[in-house]
Amino acid sequence: MQTLKEKNKSLNITNGLIIEIKASSKWLKNFEKVFLPACLDIDSKPYLLKTDQHLQVKFCEPPVKWDKIITCFQGVLHQLENKSASEPCDIEFEIRSEKADEQADMLLQVGDELTIIPFTEKKNHIQEVKNDKNIVIESGWAFGAGTHPTTKFCLEGLLFLKERGLLKDKKVLDIGTGTAILAIAAVKLGAFSAVGVDISKEALRVARKNIKLNNLEDKIRVAASLNDINSLGPFDIISANLIPSVINPIITSIGHLCHNDTIFILSGFSPKQAKDLITNLGKMGMDNVVLQKEANGWSLLIVTKKFPCDSLIW
């Protein structure tokens, strides 16, 4: 197994799949012990870059093997989460492809409404952000560049609400905002304002940069804690792209930030975990499942206490 530093030159020219993880050193060690041996069955020489709280793994296998690698990653993630149910896993991660000469031109289309454009210092994005359908995103170490299935799910959830007239002029709260991609998308799709909350200082730095890149400083603000935004609620829509062990305690503690019509967009968990989450949400009065969707081992839930529009056929 070789390090990224040892193979730095090849990284500049080789197409590959990159998984970046940020977590506590204890959790990261446990993850590495399980994930890396499992990966050796797929790629015998993944390249590593490690610090105490960061791990980057690059696989130079062809794209036909990427689904297998991602499935392995998500399986280990769920396995370790279940083992540490009493101690929530505070982890941020991003999965992306990389090809040095094409990275700046990779676009992600979200329905007919949005195009996610990766930020690069070499490119002038002024004209791109003038288009209301474009979002320019720099990921850095923050989660949420738009390529991960759960981020796509949440973006689709926002589109779902927009198409039904449930997003226009609404106040949105994005918990675990990462790059602020969901907060930015919400405002681009018609929300009145958005607030992004994240405990990661690096995520907040990236979020602020992305908000500025998209000229939305007057519409979106960020905070390091839910306690810092108590005076800003209640919110009409709350999104959370987080693992269940984090989602559950958060939802039980933010009643003062909600009203009876507040809609939750939730992702970051498996279909099996979605069933348990629905049960727990039901106990808290969030018993109306507006939408449930599954793909690639991940789930999306849109839930509320009260159906947002009785005349709609779901």
pLDDT digits (tens, 9 = 90+) for 219-237: 999 999 999 999 999 999 9
**Least confident among 4-18, 55-69, 242-256:** 4-18
**Least confident among 83-92, 136-145, 266-275:** 83-92
In a domain, 143, yes or no: yes
**How far is Cα 64 from Cα 116, in angstroms, rounded to an integer?**
24
In a domain, 311, yes or no: no
144, 210: one domain = yes
164, 191: one domain = yes
What is the mean pLDDT of the segment spanning 23-51? Answer: 76
**How far is Cα 150 from Cα 154, in angstroms, rounded to an integer?**
6
**How far is Cα 262 from Cα 29, in angstroms, rounded to an integer?**
39
91, 127: one domain = no
81, 168: one domain = no
**How far is Cα 189 from Cα 172, in angstroms, rounded to an integer?**
11
Residue 43, Ramachandran bin (φ over 0: left; ψ between -120 and 50: alpha; else beta):
beta
200, 171: one domain = yes
Q: pTM to 2 decimals?
A: 0.73
44, 64: one domain = yes
Last residue of a domain, one of 48, 75, 98: 98
Token pair in block for residue 42: 């797929």
pLDDT (tens digit per residue) in 49-65: 777 677 888 877 776 67
**23 φ, ψ to 5°?**
-160, 180
pLDDT (tens digit per residue) in 78-130: 777 777 655 555 677 777 766 533 444 556 777 788 888 888 755 777 777 77
Q: Helix H segments across 131-173?
A: 149-163
| pLDDT for the residue 98 | 62
**How far is Cα 242 from Cα 146, in angstroms, rounded to an integer?**
15
- Which tops the pLDDT comparison, 261 or 56? 261
89, 120: one domain = no
Last residue of a domain, one of 45, 69, 98: 98
Per-chain mean pLDDT for the chain: 81
Pick the closest to residue 195 from 187, 160, 241, 45 (CA basis). 187
**How far is Cα 304 from Cα 68, in angstroms, rounded to an integer?**
35
In CATH, what number is assigned to the domain containing residue 71? 3.30.70.3400
195, 149: one domain = yes
In a domain, 103, yes or no: no
**105 φ, ψ to 5°?**
-105, 0
Token pair in block for residue 91: 């982890």
151, 25: one domain = no
Rounded alpha-carbon distances, angstroms, from residue 219 to 173, 185, 186, 208: 12, 12, 10, 12
83, 182: one domain = no
In a domain, 309, yes or no: no
Domain with 127 in it: 108-304
In a domain, 285, yes or no: yes
Q: In the chain, how many domains are there?
A: 2
229, 283: one domain = yes
Rg of the chain's alpha carbons, rounded to an integer?
19
**How far is Cα 246 from Cα 197, in angstroms, rounded to an integer?**
14
What is the mean pLDDT of the segment spanning 242-265? Answer: 88
Q: Is the pLDDT of residue 11 over 50?
A: no
What is the mean pLDDT of the segment spanning 20-30? Answer: 80
Length of the chain: 314
180, 66: one domain = no
- Which tops the pLDDT comparison, 143 or 292? 292
In CATH, what number is assigned to the domain containing residue 126? 3.40.50.150
Backbone CA torsion sign across 207, 209, 213, 218: positive
Q: Is the pLDDT of residue 48 over 70?
A: yes
